[in-house]
Each structure stands twice: as C-alpha cells, then as structure tokens.
Amino acid sequence: MCSCLSQVQQSGYSLCVKKWLHALHVGTIHGENKIRINFSIKFNEDGKSRLNLPPMFIQVLKSKIHRVTVTEANVDYIGSITIDPILLEAANMIEGEKVQVLNCNNGERLETYIILGERGSGVICLNGPAALKCTVGDIVIVVSYASMEFEEAKRFKPTIVFPNTSNNTLI
C-alpha cells in the first residue's frame, strides 16, 4: 500500500499523487500544512487512467505602443501613465489597463495603469513614482499582456502600433 498524500484506486489500479506534489509549494495555515489541487482522474473502459488538469493559461503580448516619446513627468500626481486616447484605440488598450513601460534610454521597466489624456495631444506622461524612472524626451515602449489558454495563444495576434516619435502621432 502506498503511503502517499492521496491514492486513487479503481479496478486494482493505484496512482500515487505524492510524486505530482513533490515540486509544489505547501503553504502553512495555522500550523497545519494544507494544499488544494483541482484535478480529476478519469478511467477508460480498459482500466487505464487519464489525468484531467484545468486548462493551462499563459501570458502573451496583447498590445504594444512601440517607441513613443515621454512628453511629461509629474511626480506629484497619484500615479499611472497618461496616454493620448488615439494611441490607446489604435493599440487596443483601455483606461485602467495594467501596462509595462520599458524605457529605451535607461533600461528601466515598470508596471502601472493607464489613464486617458487629451485626445490628439500625443501626451505620454508618467505620473507619481514612475516619473522618477524617466525624463521628458525619453523613448518608451508601452506593452500589455493577456492570459489565455495555450492553444488559443498560438493563434492570437497582438496589436502593435509604431507612432512617430517626434510628436507621438500615428504614421
């Protein structure tokens, strides 16, 4: 008999789950080690099993504004990045969306969220602490990601825009 954490038996078939759990982190709650894993095991008519795990999701590039110029940096603002709505619409991004900002001038990378700027202004303004990671005139790349099933991700095509870096307008 297996001394594993859990055992599945049907038609004389045993499956030791301990091996699967070996690499998983076991959290401690009130002094007790507890773990929760969602999976099921189905048995075919011939007694062979098939493990059914939840679908695997991966993070993939959803949208990218490639190389825009920082027009403002406002340390005293609450936080975020202000972006011209014309750029957002072209890149399939929305207000409040989490983004990564990659500074091409100094290599800094940061995460923040989008707020809407004035339409047609070409504004790219880093606010709050993010303003300390750039200076006006720096070239940045703004990217967002989406979670999707592995097979869907293989077919997915991100939206990428290449604005004019001199005025942040679409070419």
Annotated catalytic residues are: 80, 113
- Domain with 14, as residue range(s), is 7-52
Mean pLDDT of 82-103: 98
Q: What is the CATH number of the domain that holds 71?
A: 2.40.40.20
Model pLDDT, residue 153: 97
Residues 48 and 65 in one domain: no
- H-run or E-run covering 15: strand 13-16
Identify whether residues 100 and 68 lie together within a single domain: yes
Token pair listed for 5: 């954490």
99 has pLDDT over 50: yes
Together in a domain, 76 and 13: no
The answer to whether residues 84 and 167 touch, using CB atoms and an 8 Å cutoff, is: no
Residue by residue, DSSP assigns 29-68 as ETTEEE-----EEEE-TTS-EEEEPPPPEEEEEEEEEEEE
Give the per-residue pLDDT at 9: 43
Confidence band for 11, pLDDT divided at 50, 70 and 90: very low
Per-residue pLDDT tens over the stretch 16-53:
444 444 444 444 455 565 556 666 666 677 766 666 66
Number of domains composing the chain = 2
Q: How far is CA 35 from CA 21, 55, 68, in A?
A: 9, 19, 46
Q: What percent of the chain has pLDDT over 90?
A: 65
Quick one: CA torsion of 106, 107, 111, 113, rounded to 10 degrees? Answer: 50
Write the pLDDT tens digit of every residue in 61-81: 999 999 999 999 999 998 799
Helices (H), the chain: 18-21, 85-91, 150-155
* Residue 13 neighbours by CB under 8 Å, 6+ apart: 43, 47, 48, 49
